[in-house]
Amino acid sequence: MKIYITLVLLTLFAFLSGWFGFVGSIVVAMLLVTTFIKGQLIVDYFMGLKDVQFKYRVIPIAWLIFVLFFIGIAYYM
Amino acid sequence: MIIKQKFPPGDFGIWVIIYVEFVTFAALFIGYAFARRADVLMFNESQLLLDQRAGFINTIVLITSSWFVVKAVKAIKNNNGELSADWLLRAMGVGFIFIVIKIMEFSDKFEQGINLSTNTFFMFYLMLTVFHFLHVVLGLVILFNIYQKTKIGGYSNADHVGMETGASYWHLVDLLWIVLFPLVYIMR
pLDDT digits (tens, 9 = 90+) for A9-63: 999 999 999 899 888 889 999 999 999 999 999 999 999 999 999 999 999 999 9
Task: Find all residues with CB under 8 Å of B87, minimum gap 6, and list them.
Answer: B68, B69, B71, B72, B75
Q: How high is the pLDDT of residue B6? A: 84
Whether B3 is covered by a domain: the verdict is no
Q: How high is the pLDDT of residue B155? A: 93
Residue A10 touches partner B, C-beta closer than 8 Å: no
Q: How high is the pLDDT of residue A61? A: 96
- The overall average pLDDT reported for chain B is 95
Residue B181: closest CA among A5, A29, A12, A50 = A12
SS3 A48: coil
Q: Do A4 and B67 touch (CB under 8 A)?
A: yes
Which residue of chain B has the CA closest to A12? B56
Whether B150 is covered by a domain: the verdict is yes
Contact criterion met (CB below 8 Å) for B80 and B47: no
Residue B159: which CATH number? Answer: 1.20.120.80
Q: What is the ipTM of this complex?
A: 0.95
Our count of domains for chain B comes to 1
Mean pLDDT, to the nearest integer, of B118-142?
97
Task: Find all residues with CB under 8 Å of B24, minimum gap 6, and list them.
Answer: none
Contact criterion met (CB below 8 Å) for A59 and B19: yes
What is the rounded CA–CA span in Å between residue B133 and residue B113? 20
Whether B179 is covered by a domain: the verdict is yes
Set of chain B residues whose Cβ sits within 8 Å of the Cβ of A11: 56, 59-60, 63, 181
SS3 A4: helix
Per-residue model confidence as pLDDT tens digits over B38-91: 999 999 999 999 999 999 999 999 999 999 999 999 999 999 999 999 999 999
Whether B17 is covered by a domain: the verdict is yes
Whether B2 is covered by a domain: the verdict is no
Segments forming the whole domain that contains residue B161: 12-186
Whether B46 is covered by a domain: the verdict is yes
Higher pLDDT, residue B105 or B6: B105
Whether B76 is covered by a domain: the verdict is yes
Predicted TM-score (pTM) of the model is: 0.94
Dihedral sign, Cα of residue B28, residue B178, residue A41, residue A45:
negative
Mean pLDDT, to the nearest integer, of B79-104?
96
What is the rounded CA–CA span in Å between residue B66 and residue B92? 10
Q: How high is the pLDDT of residue A25? A: 87
